[in-house]
Amino acid sequence: MSGPMKFHYLGQSGLRVSELCLGTMTFGEDWGWGASKEECHAIFNSYVERGGNFIDTANGYTNGTSERIVGGLIGSDRDRFVLATKYSFPTVRGDPNSGGNHRKSMVRSLEGSLKRLGTDYVDLFWLHAWDFSTGVEEVMRALDDLVRSGKVLYVGVSDTPAWIVSRANMLAELRGWSPFVALQIEYSLIERTPERDLLPMARSLGMIVTPWAVLGAGVLTGKYNNAPPATKNGGTSGVPVERRLDATNSQKVNDRNLAIARVVVEVAKQIGASPSQVALAWLRTRPGSIVPILGARRLDQIRDNLGCLDVTIPGEHLRRLDEASKIDLGFPHTFLQNPVSSDRLYGGLYSRMAQHREP
C-alpha cells in the first residue's frame, strides 16, 4: 500500500481537497438499498484513515438521512473536512418552489442542510442540476450572497451544459461575484461524452472536476457480463438483489458497455488489480484536475476502491482502454481537427508552427 492521499486545489481557489472524494448518496437505508448507520461509520473511517478529507452529499440524498449521518460522523472534527452539499431537487413533492435553481429554493435548501449537517457553514455548495427556467444572473448573484454571508465558502455546479457554466463564470468575473470553482459530471470509461465540451471547458476555466458514476452504474466491475438476462417483466432469475438491474443500471447494460467492461476485467487480471481499481485509475490519468467520487454500500467496496491509489496502468493497457471506449467527438471538433481545416486556417503554414496549442 502506498502512502496517504495527495491533494488538489479546489479549482482556482486555495482550498486543498484529497485526490478522492467520498460520495454519500448511499448513506442511509431510506431508499431500500443504502448502507446502515453502522456500515456508513466503517466506510467513513476507512476513507479517513487513507487520508481523505473531501465529503460530498446533497439535501435530498436518502431523504435527508445522508446529511444527518455525515453531520454525526464529522462531529466535533468538522473543520478538518471539506464538506460539500447540493440544492435544486425538491424536498417536498407537490410544492412547486421546493426545488429548482431559484433564490427561494437555494436559501431554504441551504438552511435545511445546515441543520441536518449540524454546522453553520459548508465549504462547497453545489447547484445540483440546471432547471432551464431560472436566469443565470439570479443564480450567480444569489450564490454570491450566500458566500458573503459566510454560510458558503465556495460554489460549484453539477449536471449543467458547458455553455451555461461558461456564461455564468464570465458573468461572475465581470460583476465581481463568486465563480463556480468546481464541476461535477458523469464521467467514466462508459460515459466519455464530457470530453466534447465540459472537460475542455473545465480545463480552460481552471475548474476541478469531480466525476460521479465512475464505475458506470456498476457495469465496469464486470458483474453484469456473466449475469443472467432479465426476464420480460424486468426481473432476473436466481440473481441476488444487489445485482438486479434497476431502471438506471439497465440503461447502461448494452453490448457496447459490456464489451468495455470485458476489456477492463482483462486488463485488471493482467496487472493484478480489481476491475473497479482499473476503472478509477484510468480516470485519474485524464488531463486536468480530476477527483473521482467514490460511492459504496459496504466496507469491502470502499476498501477496494481506495486501492486504486496503488494502481498504475502501463501505457499499452491505457491505450487499449482508450480504444475500447473511444467516442466520436462530433462537430465542430472533428471538422476543426481535420488537417485540411488546420492547413487553411494557418494559410498553409500549420506544419511550420513551432508550438501547437491544445484544442
Q: What is the pLDDT of residues 320-335, one digit of tens each?
A: 999 999 999 999 999 9
Closest C-alpha to 31, from 70, 64, 73? 64
Q: Are residues 86 and 27 in the same domain?
A: yes
The pTM score is 0.92
Q: Same domain, yes or no, for 154 and 12?
A: yes
pLDDT of residue 226: 83
Mean pLDDT value across residues 261-280: 98
Domain annotation covers residue 220: yes
pLDDT score, position 288? 96
Asked whether residue 140 is domain-assigned, the answer is yes
Of 317, 228, 244, 224, nearest to 277 by C-alpha is 317
Domain count, the chain: 2
Q: Which three cell numbers stand for residue 258?
A: 459490456
Instruction: Please compute Rg for the chain using Cα positions.
Output: 21
Give me the CATH number covering residue 80.
3.20.20.100
Catalytically active residues are 61
Domain membership of residue 206 (yes or no) is: yes
Label residue 249 exposed, middle or buried (CB < 10 Å: 0-12, 13-18, 19+). Answer: middle
The per-residue pLDDT for range 6-43, each reduced to its tens digit, is 999 999 999 999 999 999 999 999 999 999 999 999 99
Q: What is the mean pLDDT of residues 73-96?
A: 95
Nearest alpha-carbon partner for 276 in 245, 250, 303:
303
Point out which residues pair with 152 in neighbouring strands: 122
Give the pLDDT of residue 118: 98
Burial class (CB in 10 A: 0-12, 13-18, 19+), 345: exposed
Residues 275 and 357 in one domain: no
The enclosing H or E element of 171 equals helix 162-175
The pLDDT, as a whole number, for residue 240 is 41
pLDDT confidence band for 356 (50 / 70 / 90): confident
pLDDT digits (tens, 9 = 90+) for 114-140: 999 999 999 999 999 999 999 999 999
Judged against a pLDDT cut of 70, whether residue 314 lies above it is answered with: yes
Average pLDDT value for residue range 175-187: 98
Whether 127 and 265 map to the same domain: the answer is yes
Question: If pLDDT is split at 50, 70 and 90, which confidence band does 245 have?
Answer: very low
d(CA 167, CA 171): 6
pLDDT interval class at 242 (50, 70, 90): very low
Residue 359: inside a domain: yes
Please indicate, yes or no, whether residues 173 and 241 belong to a single structural domain of this protein: yes
Pair 337, 191 in one domain: no
Q: What average pLDDT does the chain have? A: 93
Asked whether residue 292 is assigned to any structural domain, the reply reads yes
Same domain assignment for residues 181 and 243: yes
Is residue 195's pLDDT more than 90?
A: yes
Residue 201 reports pLDDT greater than 80: yes
Does residue 2 sit within a domain?
no
Question: 161 and 298 share a domain?
Answer: yes
What integer pLDDT is reported at residue 233 of this predicted model? 47
Peptide bond preceding 194: is omega within 30 degrees of 0, i.e. cis?
Answer: no
pLDDT of residue 249: 64
pLDDT for residue 184 is more than 60: yes
Distance CA(268)–CA(274), nearest Å, equals 5
Confidence category of residue 357, pLDDT binned at 50, 70, 90: confident
Q: What is the pLDDT of residue 359?
A: 66
341 and 284 share one domain: no
In the prediction, which pLDDT does 353 show?
87
pLDDT, mean of residues 227-242: 46
Instruction: Name every residue whose Cβ is closer than 8 Å to that of residue 129 and which is 6 or more positions away in sequence.
Output: 88, 89, 158, 159, 160
Q: How far is it, in rounded angstroms, from Cα 326 to Cα 81?
A: 36
| Domain limits for position 290 | 7-327
Give the 3-state secondary structure percentages of the chain, helix then strand then coil, rounded to 5.
45, 15, 40
Q: Which residue type sits at 108?
A: R
* Residues 323 and 335 grouped into a single domain: no
If asked whether residues 272 and 334 sit together in one domain, one would say no
- b/e burial code for range 20-31 (CB count within 10 A of at least 16 → b): bbbbbbbbbbee
Residue 321 and residue 347 in one domain: no
- The stretch 182-189 carries a mean pLDDT of 98
Amino acid found at 249:
N
| Phi-psi domain of 13 (left: phi exceeds 0; alpha: psi -120 through 50; beta: other) | beta
Confidence of residue 241 (pLDDT cuts 50, 70, 90): very low
Would 18 be classed as within a structural domain?
yes
